[in-house]
A and B are shown apart, each in its own frame.
Chain A
Amino acid sequence: MTTTHLFEAEEKACWALMDELHDPEIPVLSLLDLGIVRAIEVISPPNQEGKIKVTITATYTGCPAMDWIANAIRIELQTKGYRTVEIETSIRPAWTTEWMSEKGKEKLKAYGIAPPEKRFQIPGDGIGCPQCGSNDTKLVSEFGSTACKALVQCNQCGEPFDYFKCH
């Protein structure tokens, strides 16, 4: 399946819009930071029929935010004049935290969530504390407040914090 991008300027504008939409559970991350928007194809621009197709991918299986995100994309594009918004969910290749932007990882850290780190493919002791920066930390649980996070506590500053799991 090849896609012909006839309306590059419009598509570029839509990609920029995706950076304005945020994850409902981790509001510092935009949809682009998360890397869940895989493709945008404007089939007909708003001044004509206004038809667009957006391909997104699920982060974690069963994550309840996905339905919310698909709706948010639909509403946003409709207000920009796309009367027909088709949202397709692709599952292969499976989403990975490697698609998360560097900017997104920095924002996560500033927000108090330790970003995914390759050497902690499996969560363990030593994940960097986003509060004081110490690596003297212990894993409390591989499961945290949402499907994407594990729970860690810092031995230095005592702060419990979330770790965004590698996927």
Chain B
Amino acid sequence: MRNSIIDYTLYLADSALILGQRNGDWCGHGPILEQDIAITNITLDLIGQARSFYQYAASLIGGDSTEDSLAYLRGEREFKNCLLAERPNGDWGQTILRQFLFSNFQRELYTVLTQHTDQTLAAIAEKSLKEVNYHCRWSSEWVVRLGDGTDESHLKMKTALENLWPYTGELFKGADYEIAVGMDPSSLHTPWFNQVEKVLQEATLPISSTEHIFMHTGGKQGVHSEQLGFLLTELQYMQRAYPGSNW
């Protein structure tokens, strides 16, 4: 059970960190200043969530483990983030859609997690939920604005949906450690789908095209796409090149 809690905590931490790192690439490159600030605020919050989870995981692992060693010194096979989080940013539309799909999932997940018997996980979920609601509102507004926007923005959102949808199935397919800690995510699918479908309809984005599509899995078990390696190379560069460096 203890190992499952550690694995589960790392899964939550890694997903938040990796998406945070992806979004961070937009810093200074957002389409307009306010939205640049919005996406980097979300990034900051995701990394904050990751820190809380890593600190807890490190306390359970014990020894020399710290939040930093977990973020900076593990290899790709050890990362348990969902594949959706590591998908490349693509254009602004794809970044928005990824955030939208992920944040709505996080909202359902954290809502259930607040009732968990593990008091620390429940507390982190309760704390994180406040800001996740902001992420959901912001990304939903943008999905509608771009989906129901110009021909070009609509086309880009449609392409983004086709690119990202095959990575949503994994979110609801329970890994061993999720089942072991009583957090089978399959029950989250219906509320998530209903909310996502509602917004996509408003955005005039056809969700019907996503039926019976092949779903990628593996991220939760450490089997990632090649993109994660590049991402970690950048994320972990300082600690790999100058072990133990500090400032």
Contacts and interface: CB of A to CB of B under 8 A. Distances in A.
Interface of A: 58, 60-64, 91-92, 94-95, 122, 140-145, 147, 151, 167
B134 A142 contact: yes
B94 interface: no
Interface stretch (B34-42, B76-84, B145-153, B182-190): B34-42
Interface string B24-67: 00000000001101100110111111011000000000000000
Interface of B: 34-35, 37-38, 41-42, 44-49, 51-52, 119-120, 122-124, 126-128, 130-131, 134, 137-138
Contacts of A95: 127
B45 A92 contact: no
A159 B49 CA distance: 34
B34 A141 contact: yes
A17 B165 CA distance: 54
Contacts of B34: 140-141, 143, 151
A142 B38 contact: yes
Nearest to A166: B130
A91, A122, A144, A145: residue with the most chain B Cβ atoms closer than 10 Å:
A91
5 contacts: A61-B49, A62-B51, A94-B123, A141-B37, A141-B38
B201 to A, nearest CB: 22
Contact of A94 (B41, B126, B137): B126
A144 B36 CA distance: 10
A6 B135 CA distance: 45
A142 B49 contact: no
B35, B41, B128, B137: residue with the most chain A Cβ atoms closer than 10 Å:
B41
Nearest to B40: A143
A167 B34 CA distance: 21
Contacts of A144: 37, 41
B14 to A, nearest CB: 16
Contacts of B37: 141, 143-145, 151
B170 to A, nearest CB: 25
A62 B46 CA distance: 7
Contacts of B124: 91
Contacts of B48: 60-63, 147
A95 B48 CA distance: 15
Given A141-B34, A142-B138, A58 B127 contact: yes
Contacts of B44: 62-64, 147
A62 B41 CA distance: 9
Contacts of A91: 52, 120, 123-124, 127
A143 B138 CA distance: 9
A11 to B, nearest CB: 26
Given A140-B34, A145-B37, A92 B123 contact: yes
Contacts of A142: 38, 134, 137-138
